[in-house]
Amino acid sequence: MRQYWSWITSGTALAICFLLAVILVKPIGVSTQFVIADGVLWSLFDDSLITTDTDSKSGYASTNAYLDKSGGKYAAAVENPINYSFLFVLAMIFGAWLASRFNRPTTPPDTASQPVCRLGDQRSARLLRAFIGGAIVLFGARLAGGCTSGHMMSGMMQTSLSGYLFAAGAFAVAVPTAIFLYGRR
Amino acid sequence: MKIILALILGTLFGFVLQRVGATDSRKIWGMLTLRDLHLAKAILFAIGVSSIVLFAGMSIGIIDAGHLSVKSSYNGVIVGGMLLGLGWAIAGYCPGTGVAAMGEGKPDAFVYVLGGLAGAFLYTLSYGAIADSWLFSPIGGGKVTLAATGEYSALIATPSAMLVALVLGGLFAAFAVLAPKKI
């Protein structure tokens, strides 16, 4: 088992991250950047996806209704992916790599604590679950307008009603699903 | 300047997510099956403490309320939250922790992010068809908070937003302290 911080150190460190972000720039959010990454890839194949538009608030418009919404906010980010929110998420990849680089397991990985899924535990089954789970999570996060970072942590920190609604919906389904798939032992 | 802050704050957040164990799907399943509440205690504590400090900072004027960004409340927040909960339990990652776990070099996290890109793309294509549906009917007035911020309308209209935040944040922190590590 890798060495993790105690819950109180963990909670304090997370609080510092979310506070620093809102004090210096804006609340943390992640899931929007999946859409921006998709848009960047999509625009490689479709030159007409993003257009400049002096009438829109962001100066950009899109043939896709979602990228075009809120004054072309997402269209602008797709056109200029070197922006705060996108780089923030890319930097998270580096940060986690850095942390794990100096956090080697002290003992061989503890395979006994790997939960057993009732849908099968072959490598292919686990990867398939990761793909399908990822697709459902991001579809849901975009419908909700945010994910665990944006709605739950940043949202509830600001006492936003949306954060409470989101957290209630997420845990109401996640807990029974996890218990069904992985059991209590 | 913002670009540099993005790199510093993003690196810090990714680092912390790894060290708290949030990028370990076993820890997520431990929390969601209520066997190991280490992460739940950390999250509750983080929400409570950050909320109290945020509102204290705004009330004495050292934190700019203009930096807040409150999201809208509508039916899709609950439905989308439920979908996210389903996928979270299946995969063991949420968007942020999946991205961070990919940085750790976990193969399942890499596949998770690919799945996430596919799911987000499917939503991008579907949005036009559902944009006018009941899913986007507002709840409780849309962009609202419980404690007054001066930027958005508040559900609890008292003279002291700080008091509301202190009570709510205190409840979260108390739950974090009192919750057992294991059930």
| 10-residue mean pLDDT series, chain B (183 residues) | 96 97 94 94 97 95 94 97 98 97 96 98 97 94 91 85 94 94 80
Is the predicted pLDDT of residue A112 greater than 50, yes or no? no
A65 inside 8 A of chain B by CB: yes
Which of these ranges, A2-6, A36-40, A88-92, A176-180, has the smallest mean pLDDT?
Answer: A2-6
**Mutation for testing the B interface, residue in A2, A5, A22, A138 having most B CBs under 10 Å:** A138
Q: What are the residue ranges of helices labelled H in chain A?
A: 7-24, 32-45, 65-79, 84-101, 123-144, 156-157, 161-182
Q: Which pTM was predicted? A: 0.94
Per-residue pLDDT tens digits for B77-89: 999 999 999 999 9
Q: Which residues of A, range 119-178, sit inside 8 Å of B by Cβ?
A: 126-127, 129-175, 177-178
Q: What pLDDT shows up at residue B136?
A: 96
Out of B3, B9, B103, name the one closest to residue A20 (CB).
Answer: B9
- All residues of chain B having their beta carbon less than 8 Å from the beta carbon of residue A147 are 84, 94-96
Is the predicted pLDDT of residue A67 greater than 90, yes or no? yes
Per-residue pLDDT tens digits for A22-47: 999 999 999 999 999 999 999 999 99
Residue A118 pLDDT class (50, 70, 90 cuts): confident
DSSP 8-class letter at A47: T
- pLDDT exceeding 90 applies to what percent of chain A? 83
Q: What pLDDT shows up at residue A156?
A: 96
Q: Are A84 and B6 a contacting pair at CB < 8 A?
A: yes
Nearest CA in chain A to B130: A143
| Average pLDDT rounded to a whole number, residues A128-138 | 97
Is the predicted pLDDT of residue A69 greater than 70, yes or no? yes
Other C-beta atoms lying within 10 Å of the C-beta of residue A100: 22
Q: Are A5 and B19 a contacting pair at CB < 8 A?
A: yes
Q: What pLDDT shows up at residue A2?
A: 58
**Mutation for testing the A interface, residue in B16, B59, B84 having most A CBs under 10 Å:** B84
Structure-model confidence comparison of residues A115 and A71, the more confident one: A71
A35 inside 8 A of chain B by CB: yes
Is the predicted pLDDT of residue A107 greater than 90, yes or no? no
- pLDDT exceeding 70 applies to what percent of chain A? 92
Q: What pLDDT shows up at residue B106?
A: 95
